[in-house]
Chain A
Amino acid sequence: MRWLLVKDLQIMRRSPLLVALLIVYPITLALIIGFALSSPPGKPKVAFLTQVPKGRGKVHFGSQNIDISSYTKDLFDSIQPIIVHSQAQAIADVRSGRALAALIVPADIPEQIQSLVTTGVGSPTVRLILNTRDPVERQFADQAIQARLNEVDQAVSKQVLRVAVVDLQQVLSGGSIQFLGQSFRLLGLRDSRTLLRRVIAALPAKSPLRAELSKVVGFADLAIQGLAFASPVLGSIGTPLTVDQTELSGRTTPTAIYAVTIAVIVSLMLVTLLLAAGMLALEREEHAFARLVRGLVSPGALLAEKVVLAGGCAAAAAIVMAAGVSTFVPLEWSRFPLWVVALVVAGIAFGALGVAIGGLAREVRAASLLAFMIALPIAFIALVPTAAVSSGLSSVLDGVAFVFPFKPALEAANNAFSGTAPGMGWPLLHLAGLAVAFGGLARVAVRRLA
C-alpha cells in the first residue's frame, strides 16, 4: 500500500489542478469565510428625502420640545444615505439601481406626531420605496431600514413617555420650571392637599367652607393615588415585555463557529469524494486496475489506499482551513487533537463513500460528476432544520442523513471546534460504521472494474 500511496502522491504532484484544489482551495475558502463572518454587514444605499422644512421638526409635549430631526443620525447608522431633494429624484435613484431604496419623510410628520402625542389620534407615516428587481437586496434594505425605523420609533416613544412622567411627577409633587430665564416654584397636588388641610383646620368649626374644601381634599387624594399609579405604568410602556431566556442543553455553538464547521465539512466532503472517486476511477482509466489486483495488491488494500490518500489529504486541507478561519472566528485550539480525530475519521468515512462512487462510475469524469451529484443533496438534507418541515418529511430526511457521513461529521467537528454538546463519541462511532458499510459497497463495486 505504501508504494501505491507514493505513486498517487507523485501523480497528484504532477497535476496542477489537484494541487491547487488541495492547497489554494481551503486557504481561499478560509479567508473568504473568515472575512465574511468577521466583517459587519454593509450598509445599503438609500435615497433619503426629508420634506420637513429646516427648524420645523419640533414636537411640543408638556413642558418640553422634542426635535425629531435629531433622530435622523440614528437612521444613518444603518444606511448609507444619498441625500436627494425631490421625490422624483428619489424614485429615479431607486429605478436606476443607484439606491436600493428611498425613504421619504413628509413635511407634516411633526404635526402628525404632535397630533398623536397630544390627542392620541393619527398614525405618523414615512414612505419607503423599494427596488424589487433583486429579492435578496430588497429584503436586506427592507430589514435594515425597518429595524432602524423601529428603533427610532421606540426612542421617540420613550422620550415622549419620559417627558410625560416628569410632568406627572411635577403635577404630583411640584418642582421648579424655567420660563423666560427665570425659575418658578410649582405647587404639586400633594402640597396643595397639605395646604388645604391646614386651611380647613384653621376655619371655624361651623364654617360652610369646611365641607366644600373637604371635597377638594378628597379629589386631591384620589388624583394623587391615580397619578401615582399612572406614573410607573407610563414608564413601563417603553419596554412592555422582557424575555427571560433559559438554555436547556448546556453550551450552544456560536453561530459563527457553526458556520465555520459547515464550511469545513463541506470542503472536506468535496475534496475527499472527488479524490477517492477520481483516483480509483483513474486506475481503471489507466487500465492498471486489473494488473494491480492480479496478485500484486488485493482489491481491499487498493481501496484502503485510496481511502487513506483521499481522507488524509482532505483532512489536512480541512485542518489548514480551520486554522486559517480561527484567525477570524475563535475556535478552541486547546482541543486541536480532537479537531484532527474528528476530521480524519470524517475523511475516512467520506473516502469510503468516494471509493464506492469511483467503483460504480469507473471513469474519472463520471466519478467526479456523480460525487458532486451525491455530495450536494446529502449536505442539503443534513442541514434542513427538523422544525422547518413536517414530521413525516423530517423522519425521511433524518433517515437519509443517517446513511451518509455528512451529519455525523458535522456533529463531530462541531464538538471538536467548540466543545459543545453532544460529545464526539456517537458521531465517531457512526462515521466508523458508515466507513465499513461504504467500504463493503466499494468492494462489491470494484469487482466490475477488473
Chain B
Amino acid sequence: MSASAATRQATLAARSLSKRFGDRTALRDVSFEIYPGELVAIIGPNGAGKTTLLSILAGIQGPSDGEVSTPPGRKVGWVPQQPAVYSKLSVAENLRLFARLEKLRDPDQAVERMLDQTELRERSDDEVGRLSGGNQQRVNVAIGLLCEPAALLLDEPTSSLDPRQRERLWGFIGGLAGRGTTVAYSTHNVVEAERYADRVLVLADGELLFVGTSAELERAVGGNPRDFEAAFVRFLDERGH
C-alpha cells in the first residue's frame, strides 16, 4: 500500500474472505483494501480463485466467511469476462435497458454520457452482435459504469481482444481511474498487470500471496529476474505453487 493510499478511506475492502464449494476451498482468508482512483490487477495461475474473488466483490455470490465493504450509498460496477449484452439490441438500446433496470433518475442522459465516454456514438444504432469484439467489450464496460460506481470490477477484460483493441480499452480504463473511479481487474496477462496496474494482488490456490506494486514483487523474489513475468513465475515457484 502506498503512503498516500493509507491516509484515504478504502473504496473496496475485503476482510477474511473465504469461499468453499463442498470440500473444495476456492478462497482462504483473503483480506485487502483498494482506494479511490487505484488500478489494481488480480493475477494468478488458472484456478487461483480470481473470478470467484471478483464475483464475491461484485455481490454475485456471497462468501462462506468474511465480508466485503463499500462506501455507504455507492455501487460497485461489474464487467463480466464475456460481454453480457444483448446481441439483437443496438448499443443504445442495451444501455437504455440497463439504465432503466438500474432505476437511474434520467436513463436517456446516462445513455448519452456513456456513448460519449466510450466513443460509440456513431455506432449507437448498430446491433451489438455486429460490432467488433473490442467495441462489444466497450459496451460491456459502459453498462458496468452506468450507475457511476465507486469501484469497477472487470473479469479478464482484454482476453478476447487484439493488441490494438486492448490498447484502446486500457486507455479508456486508465481515464476512468484518472477521474477517481477505483478499478480492479483480473488478468492472465502479467505484462498488462505490470504496465497498467498501480498495485497487483497475487492469488494462488485461493490464498492471497502478495499485495503491492510490480516493482515490489520483483524485489521480493531477488536474483535479477529477466522481467516481471519471470519474477512472477519465480515468486509462485518459491511459494510452492
Contact = CB atoms under 8 A, between A and B. Distances in A.
Interface of A: 3-4, 6-7, 10-11, 14-15, 286-288, 290-297, 450
B80 A3 contact: no
Interface in B75-125: 78, 80, 82-89, 93, 97-98, 100-102
Contact of A10 (B60, B61, B89, B100): B89
B58 A11 contact: no
A3 B55 CA distance: 25
Given A10-B93, A291-B143, A294-B78, A286 B101 contact: no
B117 to A, nearest CB: 19
Contacts of A6: 97
B93 A3 contact: no
A290 B80 contact: yes
B88 A290 contact: no
Given A3-B97, A10-B89, A290 B59 contact: no
Contacts of B98: 291, 296
Contact of A290 (B84, B100, B127, B143): B84
B78 A286 contact: no
Contacts of B100: 3
B177 to A, nearest CB: 22
Contact of A296 (B80, B83, B102): B102
20 contacts: A3-B97, A3-B100, A6-B97, A7-B89, A7-B93, A10-B88, A11-B89, A14-B127, A15-B88, A286-B84, A286-B86, A287-B80, A287-B83, A290-B60, A291-B78, A291-B80, A291-B84, A291-B143, A295-B59, A297-B101
A15 B78 CA distance: 29
Contact of B58 (A3, A10, A15, A294): A294
Contacts of B87: 286
Given A10-B93, A14-B88, A295-B59, A287 B82 contact: yes
B85 A288 contact: yes
Nearest to A291: B84
Nearest to A6: B97
Identify the interface centre among A4, A15, A288: most chain B CB within 10 Å of its CB: A288
Contacts of A297: 101
Contacts of A4: 101
Given A7-B86, A10-B93, A294 B59 contact: yes
Contacts of A11: 86, 88-89
B51 to A, nearest CB: 11
Nearest to A296: B101
Nearest to A15: B88
B86 to A, nearest CB: 6
A14 B128 CA distance: 13
A450 B52 CA distance: 12
A3 B88 contact: no
Contact of B84 (A3, A10, A287): A287
Contacts of B84: 286-288, 290-291
B68 to A, nearest CB: 13
A4 to B, nearest CB: 8
Interface string B170-182: 0000000000000
B60 A450 contact: yes
A14 to B, nearest CB: 5
